[in-house]
Amino acid sequence: MFRGKQGTVVIENPELADKVAIEAEGLYRSEKMHCAEAVLMAVRNNFRPDIPDIVAHAAAGFGSGSGAGCICGAVVGGTMALGLVLPDDKKRVAALTRDLHKWFAEEYGATCCKVILQTHKKICPLLTGKVAGKVAELLDAHAKG
């Protein structure tokens, strides 16, 4: 993603972002993974398939707002995925994490799971896919730029 001449956001590789989004949503809907695991696994599958599947278990405690309802598990999974894909660039991971959180808060009005679910009932499968797609978009733009 980058800013075009008119300041509009241009997605570099929408097919990749869509693929990752669909995969994450499918993993969530399968009921074998919750939001954080699904985002982390879909990003891993498409950016770091060399890393064992077991990495998704690292996100096991982050579903449903880490069990307490606060930060959205999909955002946590996305943040973890950024670090997984860019393990040697903490500054870039921090910047992309800020971009992800800002985008999410603008999109849903908050990053807190409880707050989002008050106004967006049953949104978790779709939200999981959208977060995974956004992470893929951010990583794809980083790789190209």
Q: How far apart are CA 10 and CA 128, in angstroms?
A: 22
Q: Is the pLDDT of residue 134 over 80?
A: yes
Q: Summarize pLDDT for 35-72 with one digit per residue, the tens.
A: 999 999 999 999 999 999 999 888 887 776 666 668 88
Of 107, 92, 104, 105, nearest in space to 139 by CA? 92
DSSP H helices in the chain:
14-29, 35-47, 63-64, 73-85, 90-108, 113-119, 124-144
- Angle at the Cα of 47 (from 44 to 52), degrees rounded to 5? 40
Q: Summarize pLDDT for 1-25 with one digit per residue, the tens.
A: 333 333 333 445 669 999 999 999 9
Q: Summarize pLDDT for 63-120 with one digit per residue, the tens.
A: 766 666 688 889 999 999 999 999 999 999 999 999 999 999 999 998 888 888 888 7
Q: Is the pLDDT of residue 138 over 80?
A: yes
- Domain extents for the chain? 2-144
